[in-house]
Chains A and B, each alone.
Chain A
Amino acid sequence: MALRNGSRLLKLQVLRQSVRVGLFTKPVVKSSLFSCVIKKVYDNIMPWLLSTQYIPNISQNGGKNAEFPGVKAPYVTEMKFLNETSYDPIPIYRVVDNNGAVIDSREDPNLDKNTLLNMYKTMVQLSQMDKILYESQRQGRISFYMTNYGEEGIHVGSAAALTPKDLIFAQYREVGVLLYRGMTVTELINQCYGNDEDPGRGRQMPVHYGSKQHNIATISSPLATQMPQAVGAAYAMKRRPNNDGCVICYFGDGAASEGDAHAAFNFAATLDCPIIFLCRNNGYAISTPTSEQYRGDGIGARGPAMGIHTVRVDGTDVFAMYNAVSKARQLAIDHNKPVLIEAMSYRVGHHSTSDDSSAYRSLEEIDKWTKDESPLSKLRLYIEKKGLWDEEADKEWAKECRNTVVRTMQEAEKKKKPHWKEMLEDVYYDMPPRIQKQMQQMENHLKKYGEHYPLNQHKTE
């Protein structure tokens, strides 16, 4: 990131930009005197051209860093404030264009057929499940739902780059990651219904998934709380002998405003934790646009400020996501360093079933992201070009996905909810006498007044 200045320094800027993009390559030094002179000039000028200072400074402290313990920096004699425009914005890394064509072939991860099809099929499955469960909430069959529209690419792109050992901490809009990891539609729908097969025992709202088997820490509603927790888990993993896993922590651009996000970045950097922070910057936190969430260069710009390796990625591009997370994972595990990935996307759906987003944004805006920048269509065009997929297969798979969801819902609906006593279990490892007493009170109450409770929906002893 280069410091920017006013127009009087435009020429210098252009010159420096050329240096940065490599127009001036280092001269090949042969043994002639002339070449030596060129090399000398080059070596003296290059550091100046690459410097972020504009006016010549009177050297202080012999040009060495000052001795304050808090920073490693030299003195300058020019007083200048820095602000959000002092740096070029972090560019957005992408691999494919809107037509699913690879822009620079060196960046194509060349994933095998199975992986590609698995990625695409997961995205379609997710999108079909979202559609049907969203509708079922509208019909009052489940109490609440949150869709993942527009962010499917972030999910499968990142999940494909991880191994089952890597521990996942999610916010709530990362269901594609869970599906790709191996959670089944049945497991997800059982949670939404809170039936007896939900490992969470029907205690949490829908979409608060978790799976010990798949290394997915159970989701909770308070935003960003999972971030410092993920850092602690990464620290524990680092201390395991021959560790070859890392932690990935997903969060939205809104959650990044919480104090816990700040805590997490700082702890991860100072305690050298193998963690990938993956920010889904989808432009909105419920109704709040990012212009009211922050004034800096997104979430990404905070990474280097905290001493964290950072990259900004096109979240509608599964390959860009895949490449970034693969590299981040290697960096995290090999060097015990945190990495921040800011995945740019657009929240195509409403925030949740309790939200009507047309109250704060236009339909045209949404349209662009559904048509031109859809992660699904980009990946579909890519695999179609490879001859791995066609319209027929697409229709077939979408239909199969819908059927799976509808069938699973019908089954989930028929299943009883857990016994009411599970309401008071797992508060502690062992049930304390006072809770035992309360359970007894409720049992006595239900003996007398049971007809006023939905006991028939729950399992009996």
Chain B
Amino acid sequence: MANLALKNTTLFTKVAKCVNDCTIRFSSHFIYFPDITKPVEGETTKMNMMQAINNAMDLTLKNDPTAVLFGEDVGFGGVFRCTLGLQEKYGKDRVFNTPLCEQGIAGFGIGLATAGATAIAEIQFADYIFPAFDQIVNEAAKARYRSGAEFSSGALTLRAAAGAVGHGGLYHSQSVEAFFAHVPGLRVVVPRGPISAKGLLLSCIREKDPCIFLEPKILYRSATEDVPIEDYTLPLGKAQVLREGDAATLIGWGTQIHVLLEVAQMAEEKLGIKCDVIDLQSILPWDEETVCNSVKKTGRCLVSHEAPLTSGFGAELAATIQEECFLHLEAAVSRVTGWDSPFPHVFEPFYIPNKWRCYQALTELMEY
């Protein structure tokens, strides 16, 4: 009997350990910090990021008769449901599936823009944007420049689901922004939640430059906010200071913003220090002024992104910061990023720059 009890206890311990391990393994690596400030006055409604993106495209299709939406599987609503209901509402000639070919999607979009239409193209996962790299880098980005502004691809917006999602492995997790940040002529934008997604996407669609809009896919359903129902835009090329402090500047974008907001909270509770948290929002062209003003104030800077370290966009930030803020810096700029490996499947919890790695780096930055 005693034996049996012991056995049961062992079993219970094993089960508990397994549940605990799985919680660590599969739980989200961040807590979502919803936006509480409203970009515009007026009525709001609860939307997750997928719905906010859908809403932005709905408004565009309603107000711009030339606008079309296309990509792989967008007709039935998209694999992430971002285009849900739009084909029924606007017809098959405005919201349609293309053949499965990313270079075709990008090229087709450039052509629409060249002929004066508004083109919103979807690349199913940012991991699959590389077949379209040539069209984006050599064509879309350079069309205005090479023609002396006679032609341009400004009316093209490429949306792609990006970033870690918990179990995406090599080809459903990548953050591709740095590849495009090296391309003059492009705008690269990453929202951090529903309100910013709607405002920034509407800006991208209307902006007279070709835009790549990278949507952190883990936020599609998990992030919910009170989003204004009316039309509004948020400025491109501008960063946003989300939390203010004087001890250090934490810079990130997309999902990583929520990791950094939690790290700033931890630092306040555990270390009694306050940090600036900056959402860069626009990767290219990026807001040097906001970033450098903050670092000049705090003297310390931590940059964090999911993408690998080497030649990640953090490198550009760090180099500019040391050039512009050299006399203000109290410590070397710290970069907490994904490792220089492909994005792994079962090792994801060890790969991502989570709050503990950022927190450790921040403490080391403060002790420098």
Q: List residues of chain A with CB under 8 Å of any chain B CB.
A: 167, 198-201, 203-204, 208, 210-212, 217-218, 220, 222, 225, 227-237, 239, 259-260, 262-264, 266-267, 270-271, 426-430, 432-435
Contact = CB atoms under 8 A, between A and B. Distances in A.
Given A232-B112, A233-B112, A263-B101, A227 B149 contact: no
A232 B111 contact: yes
Given A266-B101, A267-B108, A428-B144, 18 more contacts: A198-B148, A201-B148, A217-B114, A218-B150, A220-B142, A220-B146, A225-B138, A227-B107, A228-B106, A231-B111, A232-B113, A235-B108, A236-B112, A259-B101, A263-B104, A271-B96, A428-B209, A429-B208
A377 to B, nearest CB: 36
Contacts of A235: 68, 108, 111-112, 117
B145 A229 contact: no
Contacts of B152: 429
B116 A236 contact: yes
A104 to B, nearest CB: 38
Given A267-B104, A427-B185, A232 B147 contact: no
A229 B131 CA distance: 15
B107 A264 contact: yes
Interface string B60-90: 0000001010000000000000000000000
Given A230-B111, A232-B107, A260-B104, A210 B116 contact: no
B41 interface: no
B24 to A, nearest CB: 42
Nearest to A272: B93
A420 to B, nearest CB: 15
Nearest to B154: A429
A233 B112 CA distance: 5
B224 interface: no
A263 B99 CA distance: 8
B139 interface: yes
B103 A259 contact: yes
Contacts of A222: 134, 138-139
Nearest to B187: A428
A433 B143 contact: no
Residue in B110, B113, B207, B286 with the greatest tally of chain A CB atoms within 10 Å: B110
A199 B104 contact: no
Nearest to A212: B150
Given A266-B99, A426-B144, A429-B208, A228 B150 contact: no
A225 B107 contact: yes
Contacts of A432: 237, 285
27 contacts: A199-B147, A200-B150, A212-B150, A218-B151, A220-B142, A222-B138, A222-B139, A225-B134, A228-B106, A229-B111, A229-B114, A232-B108, A232-B109, A232-B114, A235-B108, A235-B112, A236-B117, A260-B135, A263-B104, A264-B104, A266-B104, A267-B104, A271-B108, A427-B144, A427-B184, A427-B185, A429-B208
Nearest to A201: B148
Given A232-B119, A434-B288, A270 B99 contact: yes
Contacts of A227: 107
Contacts of B101: 259, 262-263, 266-267
Given A233-B115, A267-B108, A427-B184, A433 B289 contact: yes
What 8 A-B pairs are tightest by C-beta distance, nearest first? A232-B111, A228-B107, A263-B104, A432-B285, A429-B208, A236-B115, A229-B111, A218-B147
A231 B107 contact: yes
Contact of B98 (A203, A208, A271): A271
A200 B207 CA distance: 22
A230 to B, nearest CB: 6
A208 B101 CA distance: 28
A228 B131 CA distance: 13
B148 A267 contact: no
B250 to A, nearest CB: 22
B327 to A, nearest CB: 19
B64 to A, nearest CB: 12
A433 B184 contact: no
B359 to A, nearest CB: 32
A51 B111 CA distance: 41
A429 B149 CA distance: 8
A416 to B, nearest CB: 16
A168 B239 CA distance: 41
Contact of B149 (A167, A239, A264, A426): A426
Contacts of A259: 101, 103, 131
Contact of B151 (A198, A210, A264, A427): A210
A262 B102 CA distance: 12
Contacts of B115: 167, 232-233, 236-237
Residue in A198, A227, A260, A432 with the greatest tally of chain B CB atoms within 10 Å: A432
A212 B138 CA distance: 20
A260 B111 CA distance: 13
